[in-house]
């Protein structure tokens, strides 16, 4: 695995989080998204982020990882900047799809990037509902390989779902 991470340290407590760039890097977002699509068997998902500049690259990589996960052809609705309530609303409006919220906080001279995953019912993904399997896939270098253009999904900008609130 190129640029490995300590999966036990950053994938825990119902989230994926770590100091950037020491503990977590942008590639982790791709890995998490691809594995989340496989674990949740998602055909569609909603993805949002805060307005922090660091989060923007993680968001882009997350979306690309989701559409490239195996042959699921996952359709990603990119909400842009949104909070948790807006994400959960959009997930429901899309028919009850899984989702992800990416955020970055600054503190003590470091940035911490957090990825929170939600199942199709809007509940946080925790150890028993997929986080343990996702961590195991990444730790054992079983991240789905990118697929060809005919097999991958599509990213659609859906800011309208956030603006409706």
Question: Tens digits of per-residue pLDDT, 61-92?
Answer: 999 999 999 788 999 999 999 999 999 999 99
> Comparing C-alpha atoms, which of 35, 36, 99, 42 is closest to residue 72?
42
Cα–Cα distance between 56 and 143 in angstroms, integer?
22
Task: Give CA–CA dist 85/160, Å, rounded.
Answer: 15
Q: With bands split at pLDDT 50, 70 and 90, how would you rate the model's confidence at 157?
A: very high
CA dist 47 and 80 (Å) reads 8
Distances (CA, A) of 165 to 90, 95, 98: 9, 17, 19
Unique residue bearing structure tokens 């690259």: 57
How many residues in the chain? 165
DSSP 145: P
What confidence category does residue 1 fall into, taking pLDDT thresholds of 50, 70 and 90?
low
Predicted confidence at residue 75, as pLDDT, reads 97
pLDDT in tens, 4-47: 899 999 999 999 999 999 999 999 999 999 999 999 999 999 99
Question: What is the reported pLDDT for 165?
Answer: 61
What residues contact residue 119 under an 8 Å CB cut-off, 6+ apart? 40, 98, 125, 129, 130
């Amino acid at each position: 695995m190129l640029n490995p991470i300590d999966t036990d340290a950053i994938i825990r407590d119902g989230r994926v989080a770590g100091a950037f760039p020491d503990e977590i890097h942008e590639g982790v977002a791709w890995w998490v998204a691809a594995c989340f699509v496989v674990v949740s068997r998602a055909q569609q998902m909603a993805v949002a982020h805060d307005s922090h500049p660091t989060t923007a690259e993680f968001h882009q990589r997350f979306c690309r990882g989701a559409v490239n996960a195996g042959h699921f052809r996952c359709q990603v609705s990119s909400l842009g900047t949104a909070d948790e309530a807006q994400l959960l609303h959009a997930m429901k409006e899309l028919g009850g799809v899984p989702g992800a919220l990416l955020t970055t906080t600054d503190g003590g001279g470091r940035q911490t990037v957090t990825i929170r995953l939600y199942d199709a019912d809007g509940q946080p993904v925790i150890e028993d509902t997929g986080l343990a399997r996702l961590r195991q896939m990444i730790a054992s270098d079983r991240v789905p390989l990118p697929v060809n253009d005919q097999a991958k999904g599509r990213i659609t900008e859906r800011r309208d779902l956030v603006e409706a609130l």
